[in-house]
Structure 1
Amino acid sequence: MDFILNLSGPALYVVIFCAKIVEVTISTIRLVYINKGEKIIGAILGFVEILIWLIVVSSVLTNIAEDPIKVFIYAAAFALGNYIGVTIESKIAVGLASIQVVINEGTGEVLADILREQGFGVTIIEGKGKNNSKKNLLFIQLKRKRIPEAINLIKKYNPKAYITVNDIKSMMGGFVKK
């Protein structure tokens, strides 16, 4: 830590900037793991995050009046860290999701079969739309990593389908294994 406190000027700015980006990125990913119930991973990431935070904050606050540029560097890295954290999280795609698809009755079974051939579990429910038109409601539970694949299949075979996607906190039974 003395190494960082002895830095000044551009070298210190680079260290603050990079360390803060890493810290906020870890923080963003940690929150996702905690929200998904992954307590151990969340705790480990939290430990690393707070270690980095303490070092970065102490270096920013040291002689802050003489070097206010550190504050700007810190704030810019915070913003970029959030962006990078969300980007990485979307690639990791921890957890499960649920896709609901509303389509005309005649195409529901066909689309369900196509999705099932690709390894998706699909449940079909009959419903009614505007003017009592018959609809199929397809319920698909899947790993978040597979959302783009499922949506692409749905759009390919039924571009007018009404699609909603939701995160799932927990799930028991069914086709998808955690």
Structure 2
Amino acid sequence: MLNIILIFALQLVYVPILTLRTIFLVKNMSIAASSFGVLEALVYVFGLSLVFSGHQSVAEMVVYAVGFGVGLYIGTRIENKLAIGYTCLVVNLMELNEELIVVLRTKGFGVTVFEGKGRDSKRYQLEILTKRNRENEVMELIEEYEPKAFIISYEPRRFKGGFLVKSMKRHIKKANNSQQQSDSL
């Protein structure tokens, strides 16, 4: 019985590490990915040695598989909480909503507005790039001001320049200036 509990616990550690390692790889964060890879390999080898340590009981193998599934769920929940990276939202509107644009910009979101022609009439498109951990905040604002908006959200792999990069550089510069001031005191 102790083996079964240990196998399940190891899967609850192993699979979230595997999930995060995979996500770091996809996001091109190789140092974090390789660090998680080392942890993953250690837990994996130890867990498998327990499962295949002599007689393999069906219960141990089933617990290993169930632990894997539960671990995947936990891993994806952790990643969603971390919300690593950026997201781009494309918001299609039937009419230009200046109030929504002002609110988004006031809250620090960069908004680019495009005008286009739809099947029946003129349409407006907002393009918003933000950190993933603020995506829900943007969605809630859009829902509040434009409940019928059509929204597409995707993760950009790379970007250069623009409002968000300038904003990040300003933030880094302020942090460095504050650090230099505190160092000189």
Match of 1:56 among 47, 59, 71: 47
Match of 1:91 among 81, 85, 88: 81
Match of 2:125 among 118, 134, 137: 137
Match of 2:28 among 10, 21, 37: 37
CA contact (8 A) 1:143 1:176 kept: no
TM-score, structure 1 normalization: 0.89
TM-score, structure 2 normalization: 0.86
Match of 1:26 among 10, 17, 22: 17
CA contact (8 A) 1:64 1:70 kept: no
- 1:105 counterpart SS class: coil
Q: What's 2:68 paired with?
A: 78
Shift of 1:101: 0.3
Runs of 4 or more, structure 1, over 3 Å off, are none
Rounded to whole Å, the distance in 1 between the matches of 2:92 and 2:156 is 19
CA contact (8 A) 1:126 1:134 kept: yes
Note closer, same or farther for the CA distance 1:96–1:106 as it changes in structure 2 (3 Å cut).
closer
Render the CA deviation track for 1:51-108: whole Å, top value 9, x for unaligned: 000000011011234x22110110010000000001111110100110000112332x
Rounded to whole Å, the distance in 2 between the matches of 1:175 and 1:149 is 18
Let me know the Cα RMSD of the aligned residues. 1.2
Give the percent of matched residue pairs that are identical in Structure 1 and Structure 2.
36
Q: What's 2:103 paired with?
A: 114
CA contact (8 A) 1:103 1:135 kept: yes
Q: What's 2:154 paired with?
A: 166
Rounded to whole Å, the distance in 1 between the matches of 2:43 and 2:15 is 9
Render the CA deviation track for 1:123-157: whole Å, top value 9, x for unaligned: 011111122x1111100001000000000000100
Shift of 1:175: 1.8
Q: Which amino acid in the other structure matches residue 110 of structure 1? A: E
CA contact (8 A) 1:26 1:45 kept: yes
